[in-house]
Amino acid sequence: MKKALFLFMIFGMGLRSQPLPKVADVPFYGPLNTQNVEYNPIISPTGRYLVFQSNRPGGEGGMDIWVSENTSYPDRMKTPEWDAPKNFRELNTPNFEGMFSVLFNEEEKPYELYFTSSRYEDPRDRKKNRDGYDGLNIYYTKVNPRTGLWSLPVHLNEINSNFEDKMPAISPDGCNMVFSSNRPGGRGGYDLWISKRNPITKLEEKEIERDKPALNCSDGVWQKPIPMGSIINSAKDEISPYYHWDGNRIYFSSNRDDKHNKFSFHFSEFDEATNQFLKPTLLGTPFNTKQELSGNSTGFPFDTPADYSTYSLWEESDNEGISITFDDLWFYFASNRPGGEGQFDIYRTQVPEDLRRSYEFIFRGLVLDGSEALMIGIDATLKIYDEKKPIQIITSKRIGGDLTGENEENFKTTIKTGKLYRVEVSSPGFQPTELLLDLRGNVGKNKEQYSRIILLPIRPLKDERPDKTIKGIKFVVKDKKTDLLIPNAELIYFDDVTRKGKMIPSKDNAFILNSVPMIGFEILAKAKGYKEDTFIFPVTKIPELEGKETVLYLRNLNDYDSLYNTIIYFPFNERIISDEDKKKLDLLADFLIRNKNEIIEIGGHTDNVGNKEYNIALSEDRALAVYRYLREKGVAKEKMKIQAYYYSQPMTENETEDGRAKNRRVNFKKIE
């Protein structure tokens, strides 16, 4: 089981559950869609990259494969902002390339790519030469693990025929390929065919936490294709197949039951009992048409014009090529409906709730008394809300003993995935708290969450401010590991006015700001033998600091690996990582991958030229550039946090160009 461990010491947060908003289908504009064809959009599992085919200008010629990056990633609810698509020149030729499928590995990186093309000879560039039969064929390429580049495409002799073979769809486990072909043996027109392969290499036996099928067939020989039969195929055309992430559903387009031979989306579920796909269902109720079609509604429109302006336009548009994000939230599809930029365009719409998988999910853990160093489990009430109403009320029990392991629990219940839950936790004499369980989208089977919920006792207000003699704001500096005061520490104050910084005087190892700042500020803390750090205090937090003692923690240098001293420098106003610095980041990436418990902060810094707002944005861009590079090298996003600084942590003085150059940088801080 995949487990998530959360520690809550929250009281009075006032969180409220929000239902998943209903979002209309989005017709993307430039630079993604053009007046040309944009077709067969394949979204990457996380929604960061979109691969599609297009005959737009700037390619190798004819239909090419293109890729675009979502610059608003990783926000999964925000409308994507696609950058200018880049031509996939490694695979494209002046001939036809398109209608493809990507197989991702367990790390969600592209592993294999199957695409449609045709025989091609180029005496000027033999790397572009392509064997094959007459007409369209299916080709295969694989990422070279050493170079990261795609290998030369290979014609799949065991799959292709002397007829049109196109539009491959590879299953998530890599063991099945569905494609469209007009070869003899089908029911008529283009039919869906399937081929299977067995692995030729035995995968390492290890438990991998995953929400989709394992990549069982990463290599192997494809068997002779067979038609998918009369349940799936019709006398008309079936094209553009696509596998759902769990491997148990396929989507495709067909012009069956349409007098104008226009294509609509269908889906079919795999029945493990009979080992075959079931009768297809039309995807979505067709809006704005008088034509009555069988099948239940599956939600928001697929077979309708984007602006709903014409009563019978469903009959006049084709809908071909569909894919889904791995979180089960978004469909991407292509359509030539009116209202787009050109011929076929790419659209996005939310996955209807009744098409999302729902599984039983175990929520268990401990409710603890946080008033003592050795905590015990306490009697408490947990109310679980589904959107607006409580669906369950459970209780925790008072228990003692060693409660440090995840197997120790005093509450346990089962809920269903696919929703956002709010949990209220209360006990007499303790501050109540709340937590959210976001189980929307793809959660997967056999999952659970283990939570340690710490309730703090209700104390009189006077106990919250034991030292009423503090005037202004008081800071002390302590060792992160030992919680002991650090003698001879230094604190330097920065704000948008005090760009060069000023020392805060100390007395008895305490630092006091007698005048409470009126604007947000930062404190740079230093001490011999410790890694310096910057603490940010926005203006909204200042009232919470006044009249209280705030502890600033520093880590001893002995607690750090030397790689944490890595510094990435940037030219003036630049955000691009140099090739030399990429070598440093490669070492850091390898260290983070090997050390599973290390979590780092990526801190961006600037010199003091320019205003605060601009410099913070520039710092964030630099930190994001490093974050993205480390992600590409395989570092999990959960192991990295981004922080944008401005003037408050200079390596040296900002009076000279050499000094400012040393301050334009990204460096790293150990969080855990």
DSSP 3-state helix, strand, coil percentages of the chain (rounded to 5)?
Answer: 10, 35, 55
Question: For 48-73, how does the pLDDT look when each residue is reduced to its tens digit (9 = 90+)?
Answer: 899 999 999 999 888 999 999 998 88
All structural domains of the chain: 360-457 (2.60.40.1120), 469-556 (2.60.40.10), 560-671 (3.30.1330.60)
Half-sphere exposure of 543 (CA within 13 A, CB side): 1
**Tokens found for residue 24:** 């209309």
Question: For 4-60, how does the pLDDT look when each residue is reduced to its tens digit (9 = 90+)?
Answer: 333 333 222 222 222 233 445 567 888 999 999 999 999 988 888 999 999 999 998
Q: How far apart are CA 205 and CA 349, in angstroms?
A: 39
pLDDT profile of the chain (672 residues), mean per 10? 35 28 63 93 89 93 91 78 92 91 78 91 78 93 85 93 95 93 93 88 47 73 94 95 91 87 89 91 50 36 42 60 86 85 86 78 91 83 81 89 83 88 91 84 79 83 51 89 87 84 89 88 89 86 88 82 78 82 87 81 80 76 89 86 76 74 82 69
Q: By three-state DSSP, how is residue 665 classified?
A: strand
- 119 burial (CB, 10 Å; 0-12 / 13-18 / 19+) is middle
Taking every pair of Cα atoms in the chain, the longest distance, rounded to a whole number of angstroms, is 91
> What is the value of pTM for the model shown?
0.56
User: What pLDDT, on the 0 to 100 scale, is given for residue 160?
Assistant: 95
Q: How far apart are CA 282 and CA 265, in angstroms?
A: 6
Question: For 277-314, how does the pLDDT look when each residue is reduced to its tens digit (9 = 90+)?
Answer: 999 988 764 322 233 333 333 333 454 444 433 333 34
- CA distance between the termini of the chain: 24
User: What pLDDT, on the 0 to 100 scale, is given for residue 176?
Assistant: 94
